[in-house]
Structure formats: structure tokens, C-alpha cells
Structure 1
Amino acid sequence: MARRDCRLDFCGNVEFFNADLPERETARPQSLSERLFRHRVELLTALRDGRAGADETGGNGAPPLVTGPIDLGTAVVDGVEYRAHHLHADVTHAARSHVLGLNPQNVQVRPHRQLVEAYSQAGPWQSLSRSAAQDVVETLGRLPTTVQQDKEEAKTFDLTVVRAQLAQLTGDAGTLASQRQKIQDIAGGLLAKINVPAVKVQARLLEELVEDQWWEDATALMFEDVRRRLRDLVIYVDKRTWKPVQTTFTDEISEAREMDLARITPGTDLRRFKAKAARYLQQHLDTIALQKLRHNRQLTVQDLTALEDMLVESGTGTREDVQTAAAEAEGLGLFIRSLVGLDRAAVQESFNDFVSGSNFSADQLHFIQQVIDYLTANGAMEISALYESPLSDNGTPDTIIGDDRLDVVVDILDEIRRRAAPVPNSTPSPAASGTDGRIAT
């Protein structure tokens, strides 16, 4: 007699698992490329919505384009007159390039081959409806593309500018304000690197961006000019790191009581102070203390006092501004050096003994040159920067030059940083010792 298993189900498990329940959708994070593609397509539809301008045509018989809720007018981009149909054509090219990079033989792309082939052509992009745009974004945006990828920093800046353009065309004031703040922060960060030749070329634009006046009449076309001129420079902006703090506590409501609030003096925007300080210091590089700082000579307390007084007496900022910036940079010398950089010859001199007489490979020499470039632009270098792009693009420092040589590089970096601080045995003057609020760090 065959043996039979018998299971008792008291909780309806059999009915539950036998039911044809739909799979629960899980949230899928969008890649940077996917978000950029999506916002570009949305920008294309925004450029076609609303009332068509009388003189805004796509050219070559294409349907008339529109300027959206506001009149885009004209702007100068790459030295030539730029209008809405130019922007439409450029954004179309960028979005279409994503589609052209989709490999029809790829297992993820193959099911959507018909749509890929359709939007690989230029025609459908000229009459893109909102429903078609949504289909393109949801279907093609997530697919892997072989189009040449830019650096993440440049792509992130592209996304910021495209979102600003889209927000302005659609009247989304909140998004426009947040993207404006990001662009101004980047401009302020680049002004602190004005000693980099490529950044210095864009100094005038950067100075305009950090001020509110430029934004009063800014258009989507002007944003495009900003994107093109700054996208390859954002790699010079100092990376900001943050660490999430996890807390576990129970709120307790205590008895209400009146308290007097201390008088608070409104502070200066630190970003603007740094930008003003960078401009002022670049105009006074012949100052003895600045010369010592840039040429990696040992500073004294008197040198730092002179530099602090320069910034305060010129009206660049208050003494509190200087103190705040110095504390953030772990010293006034390091703060000022981050704005004016180091003389390249002085940095190379620091590495002369290390390089001379050693048998370095081409990759190792390239790595050392990258370190010199970084120090020239930033004035000092954290050890962690050795393990970040672009220095880590070809491998970790220890695998490139070896542990022993890496220790020598770290010692050189420490010595360069130390020279931006006053020597311990220098005798501070009463002013430098802090009796009138000055700092000597």
C-alpha cells in the first residue's frame, strides 16, 4: 500500500500561494545617464509646448519651435548667436546619441528593437509628443548604451543645468532656485581655484554667476553657455563629503518656559567671501607673505597676521569670516593657499630629490606629475586624495609606485602642509597672539 503524506493547513497558506498574485514592483534607482536622458527628453517637449514664436522656426521645413512661458530671445554661445531652435537641435543630438549607442544585439535592447530603430533616425525627434516622449524615456532611458561616457562630474553638471533650463521653461521656481544654488556653489568653488589656467580663462563668467544680478535676466540659452564653458572645469572643485548620523532616542516633552535669545549678528555667506578673497589675493600676489606661501617657504606668525589684516582691511570680509574659513581649512595658511595655489617650480623642487636618481616607469612618473598638478592647483593635499580620481584611475598609489615610495610621497605632502603653518618657535606679537581677535594658525 502506497504511503501518503497528509499536511494540515489551518491558516490558509495553500490558498495564498496558489493565488495568482501580481509581483510587487520594487523601486529601481535610476543611473545618472538615465536621469540625464529623461530630463533632456522632457526639455525637448518643453521647448515645443505653448505658443510658437513668430520668428522661431526649426529650419529646413521643421515645425516651428516655441520659447515656452518666457521669450528665450538670443544669447551668445561659443561666440555665435544662439536661439531656441539651436538649443532644441543640440539637446536632440545628445538624446539621440544615447539611442544610437544602444546595441540591438544586446539581450536587454533586443525586445525594444523597433523603438530603437525608429528613434535612431532624426525625424521622430522633430515631432515628439508628450506620450511618445514618455514611452521613449521609460523604455529606452534605462537600457545600456555604448555612447562615449564623460566624467561623472561633467555629467552631473550637465544634469544640473538641464534641470535649471527645464525649470525655467515650465515655471518651476523651486527647482530653479535649487539648481541655481548648485551652480553658484560650483562657481564659487572654481573661483577658489582661479590659479588653474583653464579656470582663470572663465574668471569673468564665474564672478558674474556668484552674484544675484546675473540671474535676474538669465535664460535657458544663457544656461547652455554656462554648461559648455564650465562642464570640463568642475573636476577642480573640492569634493564635499558627508556622513549620515544615525540616532535612536525618545522625544520627551518637558515643561514650557520662557528663555531669552542671544543677540545674533547676521553672518557673511562663506561661499561669497571665499570668492571675493580669491579675486583680491590674485591681484596682490606680489605681497611678501603671499610670495612665501606660494613658493612653499616656511611662514611665521607675523606672515599670517599680515595676510589676515590684508583681507580684513581691504573689506573682503570681517575678521569672523577669516576665522571661520581658517577653521574650516585647518589653518589660515592652508585656507589662503587653497585660493592662490602653489608655484609649480616650488612643488617640483620638493620632489627633486625623490625623482632624481630613481628608475621610475612612465606610469609612475605620470602619477607623480598628477600629484604635482594637484598641489599646484590646491596648495595642499590630503592623503585620501591619492586614492581618488584622477590619481586612482590607473590603480591605487601603492600598486603604482609601491609602499616604500608612497611613504616618501606622504612625507613630502606633510612637509608642504606644515610650511603653511607658523614655526613653533616664532615669537608672536601681541596682535598675533589673539588679544585683538586675530588668529595665528
Structure 2
Amino acid sequence: MPLDRNPSGKGRIDYVLWGDNGNPLALVETKRTKKTAEIGQQQAKLYADCLEQKFGQRPLIFYSNGYQTYLWDDYTYPPREIQGFLKKDELERLIFRRKNRKKLHLVPVNNDIVNRSYQTEAIRQITEAFSQNIRKALLVMATGTGKTRTSIALIDLLKRANWVNRVLFLADREALVTQAFRAFKSHLPQANIIDLTKSKTSQAITANIVVSTYPTMFNRLNDMGDKERMFGVGHFDLIIVDEAHRSIYQKYQTLFDYFDGLLVGLTATPRNEVHRDTYRIFELESGVPTFAYELDDAIKDGYLVPPQGINVPFKFLRTGVKYTELSPEEQEEYEAKFYDEEKDTLPNKIDSTALNRWLFNENSIDQALEILMEFGLKVEGGDKLGKTIIFARNHEHAEFIVQRFNKNYRHYKGHFARVIDSHDPYAQSTFDDFSESQKQPTIAVSVDMLDTGVDVPEILNLVFFKPVFSTVKFNQMIGRGTRLCPDLFGIGDDKREFLIFDLCGNFEYFEQQVTEKEQKPRKSLTTRLFKARLVLSQQLNQDNKTLQEYILDNLHEHISSMEKENFLVRRQLNIVEEFTDRKRWNRLNSQDLNLINNSLATLPNGLPTEKRLSKEFDLLCTQLQLAILEQSSNFIRLRDKVRDILHGLESKREIPMVKAKLPLIEEVQGENWWTDVTPAMVETLRRQLRDLVPLLDRQQQQIVYTNFIDELEDISKQDVPTHQTGFSPYQYKKKVETYICNNENHLAIAKLKRNLTLTESDLESIEEMLFNSPEIESRERFEEVYGKNINLKLFIRKLVGLERSAAKQTFSRYLQPRFRTSKSSIKYYKPGVNN
């Protein structure tokens, strides 16, 4: 060690992690928990210098204070915080790669996996980022352009370059995981690939590639402590996130924080629709992904087929059912089904939002199916409807659509149209049949399951039997039909378009360019209850000291029950341990409250699981206690909700548990009990009745079936409002270069090809041709992509080339003696400048 640090010239390393060959793989410098981990960085570096000098191998550097741990592989990356230490084989892989990983730009892309220019360009953009020591990349590619294939080719390249060994591929649904698993098996048959949703964790440990849903991997990590955890933080070298959008990160960001591998996000969401938080996670400027290739690009280049919209304006689905507009017979049916005997009322209208949610009208569905069967695109010479997805509103709606189809088209014997959604444990098998062109079903009626990610090129018809209020979701659903399908209608007769039947006004909605409301993920019931009790504990005064102590005890128990080995809890372990001390809760300040709310309230606890209805009643009572203390206008609403619950319990008087509490139940429903009510009274009520609340029956909206004649206005073709949000430099360059090559006979360009000197007027004519053309758009756009200092002559000559005779003439001049013998000429001659 340096003598200015230690006069003896020696130091004591806290930990060294040794390889089997006796060389140091890593060292760990530890600091007290009261100090920051960063204090140990320089000390650890000096130790690494000493070990490298002695053993000829530089170890990886860890420094930690027990709560925060940093890994510094100073051969390749700056320090980064990680969630634990790497295992021996993981450290050995990192050491091995220092000398054995190849330069990525020298490793060819496997054209047997991807064969389109934009896919190769996407891989090159990602590998260029990785080569610059950037560890994250975001890929924006329209549905149907081969995101999964591109990611497989990327994995193949990184494996051949010795950059990665183990890969994790994450998707949000099992159907997409199954689809990805099959694609990996097809294109990387030599790899050991495991589907974690169908395999044990122990089977996945030895796999090269693990595919999983987010919840499956999350739960596998969450269910195991450190001693049992088989997936260490360094287990995967590369994590690929399918459909990388904000809601995934809000819910599962801890997964990406836990694993230390390179991170690649895939999304079909147009770049300007990708939320800024997603860009932040990938450490990118908002609106600027690593690579983008969007829907309009793919359609123009012939890689996707365009949609053709069919507007089907059903009156009921757009405006609802009005009593006064029904026939006398229909009014009788309306009265029988919607008259409320208790209130002696009849609604004058059933709103359109009820249609296909709980009100199913036979005539509307029958007409919609008739339109699909008549006008939908056909195959087999027009004899058979092409593959079709009907997007239903809910499971009951999907089932009713299939019921009406089977009633009206009995000759298909129940095989032609099938429900495919999460209610059926064998839905994947039905989808597999739907995916094969010669198998049934032909019509897949789905709720959410087929909205995104599925790849069936034969799809010719999409039926929107529900409104969609998300631009991102709408574009994803449209993407189900965009894939190419050669010879679909016969040899040489390819798929050229697909139809979208819009029954619910989606086209009109999205033509208005509606700004979507930002949806925040709903906090769990446990989290909301914890936060409400935390607020209540600070609102109570000396008059409610006993209640305050009880609530603080409850909050403390919630935190102290947390499993410290849980990978979510470990990230906040210093805060958890601080508030495990019960005395700490007696002196909370505003900073403490923020810390508890933001860092601890959402963590899993070890308390016994309780019934949801009991916890909902706890939350209602806590909100009521707060309303009493704050003298809030919410008091009456919350009081009446409690009364309604007690009124429901009163009807269960035959149950002994309820019978024993009937005096209290009846008293609380009276006005006198609520006069001068206190938080302590509500607390007593809560404790005595919370276990009875689950005995109540949940009131659900009854399904109503009607057969009113629905009015259908003229069916019309309509452009589908798909929005190309954002500008693609890749597409723009292709357009510019094609335009110039198509105009190589332009006088000035022809001169360039023959290596003739251009006049000022020639240069002006070139600029006029370029910057006044719709393909180039403008000088500003051109300079935005190519830069302001570009030499137009050299740029164009590089594209159109030099005629053979002109090239030979130029080369013969180069060989003249003045270039070979004159020292003065050589002195001033610079290739590429004066030649």
C-alpha cells in the first residue's frame, strides 16, 4: 500500500474472493453502516492495484456498508449499485470476458434469423451502444416487424462475441411467453431454453435462456430468501423486456434493479407515446430511443399490410337504448326487465356503457355477425371467412357472441367461433389451433388475451365490439392484422390489406387526437390501509392517547414482521431496521412520515393473510375516524356506507356470530349513536364487527338479455386513424438516397458521375432539386439528419458512383510522373483533399 496511507506499506483487505486457480476474482471493502459505501472506493482500488501487481489478474471491486453495495469493474464500466454479491462462476465469466469478448462491429448478424435491413440496423445500434459501455437500450418497432426475431438475432450475436451467456426474456402474459419460447427454439435450437412458467426454478438454473412472465419471476424471487435464492443478481448477463412500457416498470421495476445484466427494452408503442419515465429508466433522452422503426415506415416499405376501416354505426352501441324509441312490444319487455319494484321507478334510458357490459341485446350481436360473415375478407376462393379476431368487452359478452353465432350458423357445429380468454385453462391450446391456417376456430372471440403480441399472419378481419380509450392499446390491437402473409388467397396472391369493423365509434374517438389521462397503478389494499393508519396516528391527540398507542403498535408490527431476506425488503433494509425499534414510532417528524410512506408502505410484510372484506371494512372505519377528526364533508358519505354494511349484516341474523352482535348492529343504524361520535367509538365498532363483514354477499349487476331491434345506419369505409408519432431518421435516409439515385440523369448529377467540374449554377440546380422536393422536405430537415457541414458533391457522388471511363481517366492522371517523382508535389499532396 502507499506509504502515505500506511507507513508499513501494507494493508488488510476485508475479503478476497479466490478462483480455483489461486488468482483473486474480487475483493470486498466493507464500511460501517453509519458511513457511506462510497468512502471505501479508493481504498478498494488501491487493494486491487496491489493484487493485480502480485497475481497478474485485476480483481473486480466491491465496496459496501451493508445496506448499499457497489460493483466496480474498472476495465469496462464505472461503479454501479447492485443488490448483492456475484457468485464464483459469475465473477469468473466477467474476468474471462476481459480478454475473450470480441469487438461487436466485427461479428456478423445471422441472416438466417433476420433478413431485413432495419432489423440489422436495430441490432447494430444496440451493439454500438453496448460497445460504448452503455448498459441499456430501448428498441421501438411496430407490431409485426419482428421484435422477437431481432432480439433473438441480438442474443445470437452477443453469445458468439462472448458478451453474454445467460439471458432472461420477460413478457407480461403466458401466451406471449409461449410464443417467444417457440421462436427461440426455432432459431436457436442449440441453446438450452426453459419456460419458467412451466418449469421449476432448479431446472432453469442451468438454462442458457429463460423465458418468463414478470409475475412468475417476481414471485420466484419473492418466495425465496438469500439462502434459497437460485437466481443471484449476476445470474443473467442480458435481460430483454418485451412490451416495455411505463406500467410494467411501475409494477416490476424491482426486477430490473435486482438483476445486474445488460437491459434491452422492446416496444411497439410509437416513440412519442412512450412515457418519459420509460426513457428515464433506459437513461435516454425523451423521444429518442436507441432505434425506431414505426408502423408507417413498415407499411411504406412493404413489410406490413395497411388496414381498411369499416364503420358499422349501431345505434344502441353508440347512444344507448331509449324507452320512448322502442316499439310497444319492446316497451313491454323493457318494463319487465328494468322496472325497479322497490323504488317504483323505470329508467327512461339504458346508457350505451351498459351495452355488452351487463346488457346483451341479441339483435345487435346477430346483425354484427351477419355483417362480418357477409363483408369480411374471405379465403379459399371467397368460400370461407379469413381468420378473424372479435374484441369483446368482457367474458360474458364473449360467451354470448359465440352462443349467438352457434345459433345462427349451426352447420359449423360449434367449431368455427370460440372464446379465447384467461377464464379457460386450456385457452393456449385453442389459440394454437387458431394460429394454424387449416384448423378451427376461424373466429377467435377474445377479452384482452389477443389484444397484443400474438402473431397470426393469416388474420384478415378485426372486429372492435368494445370501445378502446388508449391510443397505445388501439395501435397494438390494430397490429394483430398487419403481418404479411404470402399466397394467402392463392399462389402469387398475397395478403394486401385487412379489415377493421368498428362497431363502437373508435375511429371517431381517435380522430380527435384525445390526450390520454395518465393512469397511476392502484395501490394494494394493505398499502392504502397502512398509509391511512399512519395519517390517523398523527391526527390523534391526548384525548385519544390509548387509540394512538394501539395504532402505532399496529404500524410497528407491520414493519417488524417484514422478512429481511426478501429481495424487496433488502433494498430498504436500513430504513426497515430503523423502524423495527418501537420507540422510534413515538417521535415521528414530517421527514420520517415521508420516508415511511415512500419507502416502507408498499413492502411485503409477514403478518397472517386476512380476508379482503374485513380489511376493506378496516379502511372504511379508518377513513371515517379521519373524517371525524378533520370535520370533513366526507363524514356523512362514509357513515352511510357503514350503515349500509350493517343493514346487510342484519339480514344475516340467523347466523350465531351475527345474532350475538345484533344489539350493536341495530344501535349503530340509529341517529343517536352518531351524535358526538368519537374515533374510539368507531374503533370499538371496527374490532367487534370486522370478522362478520365477509359473511355479506357481494351484490353484482345481474346480466340482462334483450332482443330489441337495433338500428344500423349505412356501413361505410373509413381510414383507420393510426398515427405516425415521431420522425424516423432511418426511414428519411432511405427516402433521400432513393430519390437521388432515381434522378442520376439530372444534368449536374450526370456531370458528377463523369467527374466534370460543376459551375455555380450547377450547384444551385442541385440544391433546388433537393430542397424543393417533397421527398427531401426541406433544407432544415436534411441538415437535421446529415449535419450542416455535409459536402453535397461528395455525398451525391458516393451514392451515384463514378462512370467507369471517368474513373480510369482519373486514375491514369494519378499515375503521371509528377505524382511519383516530384517531392514538392508529394509534400502538398493529401489523398482525399487535393486529388
Bigger radius of gyration, 1 or 2? 2
Q: TM-score, normalised by structure 2?
A: 0.23
Q: Quick check: which one's strand share is greater? A: 2
Q: Which has the higher contact order (CA 8 A, sep 6+)?
A: 1
Q: Quick check: which one's helix share is greater? A: 1
Q: TM-score, normalised by structure 1?
A: 0.42
